[in-house]
Amino acid sequence: MSFRPLHDRVLVKRLEEQSKSKGGIIIPDTAKEKPQEGEVVAVGTGAIKEDGSVRALDVKAGDRILFGKWSGTEVTLDGTELLIMKESDILGIVGA
Domains identified in the chain and CATH numbers: 1-15+35-95 (2.30.33.40)
Q: Where are the beta strands (DSSP E) in 3-79?
A: 9-14, 37-43, 47-48, 54-55, 64-67, 73-77
Asked if pLDDT for residue 6 goes beyond 60, the answer is yes
Q: Which residues contact 82 (CB under 8 A, 6 or more apart)?
A: 11, 12, 13, 14, 41, 74, 75, 76
Q: What percent of the chain has pLDDT over 70?
A: 78
Asked if the model's pLDDT at residue 1 lies above 60, the reply is no
- In 3D space, the residue among 96, 70, 71 whose CA is nearest the CA of residue 11 turns out to be 71
Does residue 73 surpass a pLDDT of 70? yes
